[in-house]
Amino acid sequence: MGKLTMAMILVISCAALGFWRASLLGIKVSRAKAMIVMVDKIQSCLRYERLTTAQLIETISRLDSLAALPHLGVCCKSMEEGNPFPKAWSDSVKLAGYTEEEKQILRQVGEILGSTDAQNQISTLSMLREFMTQCQKEAEKERNEKGKLYHSLGILGGIGLAILIW
For 7-34, the pLDDT digits (tens) are 888 889 988 998 999 998 999 999 999 9
Rounded average pLDDT over 162-166: 80
Predicted pLDDT at 6: 82
**Per-residue confidence band for 39, with pLDDT thresholds at 50, 70 and 90:** very high
**Chain mean position to CA 62:** 17
What CA–CA distances, in Å, run from 97 to 27, 70, 91, 127? 12, 9, 11, 25
**E strand or H helix at 97, and its extent?**
none
**pLDDT for res 72:** 93
- Residue among 55, 161, 62 at smallest CA distance from 113: 55
